[in-house]
Amino acid sequence: MVDVSPGRLTPGPVSSGAASPRQVDAATTPLAEARGVGRTFTVGGQEVTALRETTLQVRPGDRIALLGPSGSGKSTLLHLLGGLDTPTTGTVSWPALGEANTLRPGKVAFVFQAQSLMPPLTALENVALPLLLTGATPKAATGEARRALDTLELLPLAEQLPEELSGGQAQRVAVARALVTRPRLILADEPTGQLDSVTAGHLMDVLLSALEPSSALVMATHDEAVARRLDTLWRMEGGGLLSRATKEGPS
């Protein structure tokens, strides 16, 4: 079993000082916690291990890159951390956020590896949708969605349908949709995979500056340069979390 505790940005235990118990809880309570989590699939009678038993926590302020070759389990882990999939062994919980059925839309947001925009809706409508689902008025949702698109320099594409966008543009709209509710936990699956290096760098700038300090980001990527923009690096291979490191070195 791999035991991965929180990365460098995680506030350490508070033994004394001015913070009230309530403040301490808010700063350290994990947003997501996996205990002994494994996932197997049965394909044509054969069992495939997508994720070996893994224990980890994602805490407020974490900026984590998940790096590993194709098939190493990155998407599987992200899906489990977001409550989109159920583990075969172990448990996933969200101590700071509540039960699995309360996570979306609003508290946990995904940027999926595959194209995930709603085909009949324009870029603007796609980005407004999570706000409408959390009870915003159409006027407020549209205003917020415009601002999110503007941040990613996508406003000129607001009225276009997903089929009228390039793969990279669609992925940036998906990032705007993920950020628009100001979620506590963002799980991004290769959001820069279809972007050239300049656009990928810009997307990382925007994503990192748009994150609330107390929100957490876990991002799967193949790209070492993208991974280096984050504070903590988790390496995966063969369904296992091999190591973790911070900018200061292994931990």
Ligand X SMILES: Nc1ncnc2c1ncn2[C@@H]1O[C@H](COP(=O)(O)OP(=O)(O)OP(=O)(O)O)[C@@H](O)[C@H]1O
Which residue bears the tokens 């689902």?
133
- As a whole number of angstroms, the distance between CA 66 and CA 188 comes to 10
The answer to whether residues 126 and 180 touch, using CB atoms and an 8 Å cutoff, is: no
Tell me which residues in 57-116 interact with Mg ion (CB under 5 A).
74-75, 113
Q: Pick what 71 binds: Mg ion, ligand X, none; C-beta below 5 to 8 Å, kind-dependent.
A: ligand X
Q: How far apart are CA 186 and CA 194, in angstroms?
A: 19
The strand pairing partners of 110, in sequence order, are 187
DSSP E strands in 107-204: the ranges are 108-111, 185-189
Q: Could you tell which of ligand X, Mg ion, none binds residue 43, using a CB distance below 5 to 8 A set by kind? A: ligand X
Report d(CA 214, CA 79) in Å as an integer. Answer: 21
Closest CA relative to residue 185, chosen from 250, 103, 99: 103
Binding residues for ligand X, rule: CB under 6 A, are 41, 43, 48, 50, 68, 70-76, 113
Closer to ligand X by CB, 180 or 217: give it: 217
Helix (H) or strand (E) holding 227, with range, is helix 224-228
Nearer to ligand X, 75 or 181 (CB): 75
Residue closer to ligand X, measured from CB, 74 or 229: 74
Say which entry of Mg ion, ligand X, none residue 70 contacts (CB below 5 to 8 A, set by partner kind): ligand X
63 binds, among ligand X, Mg ion, none (CB under 5 to 8 A by kind): none
CB of 113 to ligand X, least distance (A): 6
Q: Which is nearer to Mg ion, 77 or 210 (CB)?
A: 77
For residue 78, the minimal CB distance to ligand X (Å) is 8
Residues that bind Mg ion (CB under 5 A): 74-75, 113
